[in-house]
Structure 1
């Protein structure tokens, strides 16, 4: 079992969004994702910039503690034991064999 939570972080001042003038829309500057593994309760989180530089090869540099996401959201991720919310793994989890990441 794997629980997946995700969302976006919006600019506090959307008029600064570069796509507003050119396309008439705002785009989020960053995305967040939290994964919780059911087998052992381990969790991992990322804040990933909305950028062409944000590739799978660079994923580890976007690892963050879950608490950082909660603070930016102003809410809680309710499924992780509190003591785990400050942990940051050294590396992202290994992609399971046969997963095409789609």
Structure 2
């Protein structure tokens, strides 16, 4: 865990930015010895946001399943995907 005083961002922006990119970890900034901000590079932020969204979607699906929503077997999903591909290919064909 990287912890730096908040003054470090003003004094050493490039160093902190490089450290964020190299470690792909957030840097925690303190103000008067207390936690104040978290800084991370945009790639790490985007990756974390995608992971959080995926987790939310998986949790939602699992909650639906536990409430009794119908699920699909691998064979059913395969069949649906093949049908969708055939349908899409047919619509894209020249007449």
Give TM-score, length-normalised by structure 2.
0.23
Give TM-score, length-normalised by structure 1.
0.22
Query: Whose Rg is larger?
Result: 2
Write 1 or 2 for the structure with the bigger share of helix. Answer: 2
Write 1 or 2 for the structure with the bigger share of strand. Answer: 1
Which gives a bigger RCO, structure 1 or 2 (Cα 8 Å, sep 6+)? 1
